[in-house]
């Protein structure tokens, strides 16, 4: 199956799995998806992840995080910003704030895939991939 926008597919798989209460989701791997998964882990949106090498591109296994008392997912919203048909680039002083700093924006910059806070600290802009909160 040919996927036009692999990042949108990545976000949709996580969003759908968390809405129905799955514990683990498997996603085809790529370098940008691996970097985004590391950011989600560092910021506390997922429990754990594992990169599995198969003979093709590899698989990312992500353990989703839920509130133990209410069973609500840690990720309430994931929105793709820059699409394949319309790329969204922001300079360092135009970087968005998601939910006034409660969420994160994931950017692809010349320094790699980083969050909006790290991009402001390093004074670098780039392509806004998605918002997560």
pTM score: 0.95
Q: DSSP per residue over the chain, as a string?
A: ---S-HHHHHHHHHHHHHHHT-SEEEEE--HHHHHHHHHHHHTTSEEEEEEE--SSS-EEEEEE-B-TTT--BS---EEE-S-SSS--EE-GGG---GGGGTSEEEEEETTEEEEHHHHHHHT--EEEEEEE-
Q: Tens digits of per-residue pLDDT, 39-91?
A: 999 999 999 999 999 889 999 999 999 999 999 999 999 999 999 899 999 99
Q: What is the pLDDT of residue 1?
A: 61
pLDDT in tens, 23-51: 999 999 999 999 999 999 999 999 999 99
């Amino acid at each position: 199956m040919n996927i036009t926008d692999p990042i949108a597919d990545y976000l949709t798989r996580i969003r759908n799995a968390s809405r129905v209460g799955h514990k683990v989701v498997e996603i085809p791997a790529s370098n940008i998806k691996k970097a985004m998964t590391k950011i989600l882990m560092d910021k506390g949106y997922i429990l754990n992840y594992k990169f599995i090498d198969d003979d093709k591109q590899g698989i990312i296994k992500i353990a989703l995080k839920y509130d133990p008392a209410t069973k609500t997912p840690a990720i309430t919203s994931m929105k793709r910003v820059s699409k394949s048909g319309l790329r969204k680039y922001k300079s360092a002083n135009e970087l968005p704030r998601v939910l006034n700093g409660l969420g994160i924006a994931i950017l692809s910059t010349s320094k790699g895939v980083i969050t909006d806070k790290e991009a402001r600290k390093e004074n670098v802009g780039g392509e806004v991939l998605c918002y997560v909160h």
